Amino acid sequence: MNPSPRLRSQQPVQAALHVAIVGSAVLAGVEAEAQRLATVLRSRGHAVVTFLAAQADWDSGGIHDAQAGPAGQIDLVIVLGGDGTILRTARWMGYQQVPVLGVNLGTLGFLADFSRGEVDETLEEICQGRFRLVDHLMFECDVLRDDRLIHRELGLNETSVHAGPPFSMIEIRLHVDGDLATTYRSDGLIVSTPVGSTAYNLSAGGPIVRKDIDAFIFTPLNPHTLTHRTVVDSAMRVYDLIVPRPNEGSACVVDGRLIAPLRADDRVQVRRASPRFTLVETRNHGYYRTLREKLKWSGGLRGSGPQATSGGPE
């Protein structure tokens, strides 16, 4: 099954949409909400397929095989859950990405930005063409051993190299387009996309980078040298991470999934991928609104809000 280009025109939808509803089968409320949305969509003439799966059942590229037949080309994927469910869905779609509407049934939800109470109105806005599609950087992570590829993974949030047990610091050499940039001595290194800048990168003290910028963010974990700070560089370059002397438990992780244990001189290569992860935004949902709400940005000093009085002290 190939993704449909119809939403790319961002014009009012004149024909039925083909919608896939995706979610975690073990998350409370997902099954009931999936059934409700499917009923609403079908009553409006849209074709719907539903895939609710346990976490262990998600795999790269699976959505197009799992949903083949009933819906034809998919125009829109509605993801029910949290950001973890969206990451799994992006991996599941593989190199055939489809626009995603994220409905937050989880906790924080930077990517799953819409509440379940907003979904019906949002679907109507999509049908009327009152929406925008925002593309986001994805990456490929290769693990090479003796110049032989042992694993390739498509990711959305970040690649991270972890020192692992016995939990002593390791050296990580960073090469940019083949040239040595620096050597980190730390507990690990995060290579994040802007989408992932509000995830593991933010927790490690890295910066927030607007999610539609094409860049990689390099944030060391507990670096031994104080001059090692986060670096932001272009996604047009190719980055190699080499660990000359890994710990027994050193490993490469992509989007929270263990990809491969690391041996001496293994090379972890990160580069921009050809597909783009696409989120649906509406006029009521934008980047800074999401940051304000999710990070609890107050926007002003205490007492300066609309209820503050203009008088002096009593």
User: Given the DSSP bridges, would you call strands 76-81 and 18-24 parallel, antiparallel or unpaired?
Assistant: parallel
Question: Which CA distances in Å does 86 have to 103, 219, 231, 278?
Answer: 9, 23, 27, 11
What's the distance, CA 137 to chain centroid?
A: 9
C-beta neighbour count of 265 within 10 angstroms: 14
* 311-312-314 Cα angle (round to 5): 105
Decide if 147 is catalytic.
no
Is residue 164 within 8 Å of residue 193, measured between CB atoms?
no
Sheet architecture: strand order including 239-242: 148-155, 139-145, 267-272, 239-242, 170-176, 179-186
Catalytic residue among 75, 83, 113, 255: 83
Q: Which residues are catalytic?
A: 83
